[in-house]
């Protein structure tokens, strides 16, 4: 049985629906419609979930009106927070571990004097979410990349094909293909060997 836009999921504990502007491949799996609780996408293709892709409990599509999220074929997203005002693309066969945060926008100004009145409004909001016009920069995660748990991708970063981002890393710059990065900020640990690349394909 597949996840059908505009309908509830038969196995779901949450009675929400899959938004009608979410394109779901017949072999894709969405564990719960609660993943769209913060979804406000207005594009006709606001989210695309490819063949064999899976999203599990805790994954949250926090997509703004102009945002577009694409999950490639056979990607696995396990409990990530996807904050998208522009575009977040995850290519085929990527693995996104639990509690990963991908944010193509900070949603609030970096200037504390401008940010303070926005934050003061939060207690009266439901859901408690800040929406503000700040620049958004697309994020791209390459084919077969692996994002370790609790890692964070900041606006505008590109993760190369086959790259590995270590657990709890904060990625503020592009990651080259077939490399391992880790840390805060994430920095090169080493390049994958030819043997490791051969086994990963």
Count other C-beta atoms under 10 Å from residue 76's C-beta: 18
Domain spans of the chain?
Answer: 44-104+134-199
Over the stretch 106-136, which tens digit does the pLDDT of each residue have?
Answer: 877 677 887 787 778 777 777 666 666 678 9
Residue 201's pLDDT band, with cuts at 50, 70 and 90, is low
- In the structure encoding, which two tokens stand for residue 23, read together? 């394109």
Mean pLDDT, the chain, as a whole number?
Answer: 90
Percentages (nearest 5) of helix, strand, coil residues in the chain: 10, 30, 60
70 or 111: which carries more pLDDT confidence?
70
Over the stretch 137-148, which tens digit does the pLDDT of each residue have?
Answer: 999 999 999 999
Name the superfamily (CATH) of residues 44-104+134-199: Hexapeptide repeat proteins (2.160.10.10)
pLDDT at 116: 81
Exposure of 170 in the CB half-sphere (CA atoms within 13 A): 2
């Amino acid at each position: 049985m597949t996840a059908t836009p505009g309908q509830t999921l038969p196995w779901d504990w949450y009675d929400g629906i899959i938004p009608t502007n979410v394109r779901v491949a017949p072999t894709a799996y969405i564990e719960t419609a609660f993943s769209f609780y913060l979804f406000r996408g207005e594009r006709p293709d606001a989210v695309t979930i490819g063949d064999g892709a899976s999203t599990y409990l805790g994954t949250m599509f926090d997509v703004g009106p102009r945002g577009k999220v694409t999950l490639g074929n056979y990607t696995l997203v396990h409990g990530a927070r996807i904050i998208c005002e522009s575009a977040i693309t995850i290519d085929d066969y990527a693995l996104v571990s639990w509690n990963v945060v991908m944010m193509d926008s900070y949603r609030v100004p970096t200037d504390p004097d401008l940010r303070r009145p926005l934050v003061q409004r939060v207690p009266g909001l439901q859901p408690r979410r800040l929406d503000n016009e700040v620049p958004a920069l697309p994020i791209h995660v390459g084919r077969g990349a692996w994002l370790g748990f609790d890692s964070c991708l900041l606006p505008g970063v590109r993760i190369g094909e086959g790259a590995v981002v270590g657990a709890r890393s904060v990625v503020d710059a592009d990651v080259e293909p077939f490399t391992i990065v880790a840390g805060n900020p994430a920095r090169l640990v080493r390049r994958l060997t030819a043997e490791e690349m051969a086994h990963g394909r």
